[in-house]
Chain A
Amino acid sequence: MKELPANQGVMIECRGAGFSLNGGAPLVAGLNLQIWRGETLVLLGRSGAGKTTTLKLINRLLEPTAGEVLVEGRPTTAWDPIRLRRRIGYVIQEVGLFPHLTVERNVGLVPALEGWEPGRIHTRAHELLRLVGLDPAQFASRRPHELSGGQRQRVGVARALAADPPILLMDEPFGALDPVTRSEMQREFRTLKGKLNKTIVFVTHDLQEALRLGTRIALLAEGRLVAVHPAREFLQASEPEVKAFVGALGGWDEEEQPDRMKH
């Protein structure tokens, strides 16, 4: 496994991690992976490759049935699950905003659970809405059903960032958006992650998205990790699984993508 520049410790580590449901066929098996502080690691793979399962092993929505997953050096099973999850922002494709709460209260939920005082929650929620490009004056008091899909996902991101967690897990956050909104969100995400310095684990099945957003890309297939490469080197990787994944999308990616990655 290639190391990135020093000064960056390991934030998340999977050691032979595996998960199977009620002793059935494993959804993830023998996963060895280190995720570095401050990087954006993309988990790439087709549906059913075990990407979401891997994410859920990190915030202990699932517990490994084999091996272990360490967050900040401690196995997830040794963490209090509530404390662990409060340190990890979680964004999912369906967003999962609370429909009975306003945008502001959705964003301020984790700070409220953490017992912040109302004034501070209010300030923080507005600050975050501006950060994700939503004018608080216009959006803070709206309900989720009064937002477009893209706006909802922005609120989802703001909510995940609310208590300033060092880790962010994103499960196909832009997967349900139309292509134009998606690429707009991807562009903003790149700017945002530069400002925030978070450790981000990003799940997608979209190769282009992985190349655009990832520091490194980990390819999963049938519950196993088949390759991890810096995003820039991913298309040149020699593993047959990588070639197959890239090849399945047509040759144009290989010619076009390296240029786009330069800026």
Chain B
Amino acid sequence: MGVLSFIFNNAREVLELTLQHVTLVGISMLLATAMGIPLGVLLTRRVALRRWVLGGANIIQTIPSLALFGFLIPVPIMGGIGSRTAIVALTLYALLPIIRNTYVGINGVDHAVIEAGRGMGMTDRQLLWRVEIPLALGVILAGVRVATVISVGIATIAAAVGAGGLGMYIFRGVGMVNNQVILAGAIPAACLAVLADFSLGWAEHRLAVK
């Protein structure tokens, strides 16, 4: 297999690009989670905002990723050439599944349980932290998992704006019309996606309440 020997011969570079890739995805997911979960919770409290927030996140999701990266380059502060643009774009893509799953998860908590909690004199905050979030955690994590897997894929395009990552090999391979080089980027990226899916799926299964 030519691809494998290519990867072994360039082990150091592959590792470096993989690390860049993981860093891009990791930072974006932390940001998206930190924004998406509170936003999702907010939607369960302010139903009027639902159309706007979910609609907005939906629209972002429909923008082709290469175009979004391109659009961001001239934007001050957020944009430019390099990893910052990539992180902003990845974060935006990751928001929708996280917001939506948080909203759906919390809304899906058994109404009788909420009613009992409220009737026992739990404050809204206690209800949220002690009942709603623990019970919705499985669904929320499923959103984080979907977002992560999507991000691993989209992050390959980050190379186009100079953010590095495994996309470097893919773009290089496309330019060289060399499938081995393309696969040297694509295979580790696919492995990352599978790994993320598997480990987050395991966490989701552990934390979901029967």
A contact residues vs B (CB 8 Å cutoff): 59, 61, 81-86, 88, 90, 92, 94-100, 109-110, 113, 143, 145, 156, 159-160, 169
Q: How far is the CB of B172 from chain A (nearest CB, A)?
A: 49
Name the B residues within 8 Å of A59 (CB-CB): 119
Tell which of A90, A99, A100, A145 touches B120, judged by Cβ atoms closer than 8 Å: A90
Given contact pairs A92-B112, A95-B112, A96-B112, A61 touches B118 in the complex (Cβ within 8 A): yes
Chain B, range 99-139, C-beta contacts under 8 Å to A? 110, 112-123, 126, 130-131, 134-135
* Sample of 17 further A-B pairs with CB below 8 A, known A85-B120, A90-B116, A143-B210: A61-B115, A82-B122, A82-B123, A83-B121, A85-B118, A85-B119, A86-B121, A96-B110, A98-B116, A98-B131, A100-B209, A110-B120, A110-B121, A113-B121, A113-B126, A159-B120, A160-B120
Q: Contacts A113-B126, A143-B210 hold; do A98 and B121 have CB atoms under 8 A apart?
A: no
Residue of A whose beta carbon sits closest to that of B113: A96
Determine how close the nearest CB of chain B comes to the CB of A96; give it in whole angstroms: 3
Closest 6 CB pairs of A and B: A96-B116, A85-B121, A94-B112, A90-B119, A86-B121, A96-B112
Across the two chains, which residue of chain B brings its CB closest to A93?
B112
Residue in A81, A95, A96 whose Cβ sees the most chain B Cβ within 10 Å:
A96
| Residues of chain B from 180 to 195 with CB closer than 8 A to chain A in the complex | none
The interface residues of chain A lying within 8 Å CB-to-CB of B116 are 90, 92, 95-98, 156
**Distance between Cα atoms of A107 and B59 in the complex (Å):** 46
The prevalent SS among residues of B at the interface is helix
What chain A residues lie within 8 Å of B119 (beta carbons)? 59, 61, 85, 88, 90, 92, 169
A82 touching B121 by the CB < 8 A rule? yes
CB neighbours (8 Å) of A94 from chain B are 110, 112, 115
User: Is the CB–CB distance between A97 and B121 below 8 Å?
Assistant: no
Distance from A215 Cβ to chain B, minimum over Cβ atoms (Å): 23
Q: Measured between alpha carbons, how far is A160 from B119 in the docked complex, in Å?
A: 10
Q: How far is the CA of A178 from the CA of B118 in the complex (A)?
A: 28
- How far apart sit A59 and B112, CA to CA, in the bound complex (Å)? 16
- Looking at the complex, which one of B122, B123, B210 makes contact with A99 (CB distance below 8 Å)? B210
Closest to B118 in A: A61
Question: Is A109 a contact of B120 with CB atoms below 8 Å?
Answer: yes
Q: What's the least CB distance linking A229 to chain B, in Å?
A: 28
Write the nearest CB–CB distance from A106 to chain B, whole angstroms: 10
Q: How far is the CA of A94 from the CA of B109 in the complex (A)?
A: 14
- Name, among B113, B123, B126, the residue most crowded by chain A CB atoms within 10 Å (CB to CB): B113
Cα distance A100–B104 in the bound complex, in angstroms: 18
**Cβ distance B54 to chain A, nearest Cβ, rounded Å:** 25
Instruction: Check if A113 sits within 8 Å of B112, measured CB to CB.
Output: no
- Contacts of A160 on B, CB cut-off 8 Å? 120
11 example contacts (A-B, Cβ-Cβ < 8 A) are as follows A85-B118, A85-B119, A86-B120, A90-B116, A90-B120, A92-B119, A96-B112, A96-B114, A98-B117, A100-B135, A100-B209
Are the C-beta atoms of A113 and B209 separated by less than 8 Å? no
Residue of B at shortest CB range from A94?
B112
